[in-house]
Copies of this chain bind each other. A is one copy, B any other.
Amino acid sequence: MAAVQELKLLGAVSGVSPYVIRVQMALAVKGLAHEYLPEDLAHKSQLLLDSNPVHKQVPVLIHNGKPVCDSPIIVQYIDEALAGNGSSILPADPYDRAVARFWAAFIDNNLFPSCIGILEARTEEKKAAKLEEALAALQLMEGALVGCSKGKPFFGGDAVGYLDIALGCYLCWFKGVGDMAGATLLDAARTPELAAWAARFGAAETAGSLVPGVDKVEAYVNTVLYPKWNAAAAAANN
């Protein structure tokens, strides 16, 4: 069983990519040692270009020389292929697994784009609409938490699981976007279960310690995202 596993994770120097953080959390939950290689995404390494020639994006997990790309796929691969000393990540029951995958996709495709949209919005009207969207999505996650956790501390039950990681990798972004937009996204009054879950997740020995500080998110938004959005808006006006 215990063959040698050489694991390299291509990450980002910014330290705030939720997708990289997600993979780091999965490796932590499974108790898997790995070499972390942070990429400067303005000057991508040949290893990154060779490992993910289609998207040229991080994260990439390289297992014994073979690359795996896309964070939800990497997390499932870690759970299915790698023998660690930690707990399983995906639920054992196929229906619970389908439900976890559904909400994980909802978080990536709906919840987070709405959050980022609050900052990207160029009018107050659009900003308010995106905030409302994000709050509605978090309200749905409140219901998902109640359904999935079945009274236990995490989406995954007694231990941090797939959906905990899928959502938890965005915790610094919820806080950072909220601070920058003058709003509270994870509000104990509006979504009490989710706010309590976030506190538990942040305190969890495995994954919680990997949530970066809000200052890093703000620095990334100011130095990377705002200039990118401004350039795109200028180009669209020409």
Give the size of the chain A interface in residues (CB under 8 angstroms).
21
| Contact pattern, A 57-79, Cβ under 8 Å of B = 1, otherwise 0 | 00000010010111001101100
Docked-complex contact B81 and A101, CB < 8 angstroms = no
In the complex the two chains form, what is the Cα distance from A76 to B162 in whole Å? 16
Docked-complex contact A101 and B80, CB < 8 angstroms = no
A125 → B minimal CB distance (Å)? 15
In the complex the two chains form, what is the Cα distance from A101 to B74 in whole Å? 10
Docked-complex contact B54 and A68, CB < 8 angstroms = no
Give the B-binding residues of A (Cβ under 8 A): 54, 63, 66, 68-70, 73-74, 76-77, 80-81, 94-95, 97-98, 101-102, 105-106, 140
A210 → B minimal CB distance (Å)? 22
Docked-complex contact B54 and A73, CB < 8 angstroms = no
Q: Which residues of B contact A106 (CB under 8 A)?
A: 54
Docked-complex contact A76 and B101, CB < 8 angstroms = yes
In the complex the two chains form, what is the Cα distance from A45 to B8 in whole Å? 49
Give 27 CB contacts A-B under 8 Å: A54-B102, A54-B106, A54-B140, A63-B95, A66-B95, A68-B95, A68-B98, A68-B102, A69-B102, A70-B101, A70-B102, A70-B105, A73-B98, A73-B101, A73-B102, A73-B105, A74-B98, A76-B98, A77-B94, A77-B95, A77-B97, A77-B98, A80-B94, A80-B97, A81-B94, A81-B95, A81-B98
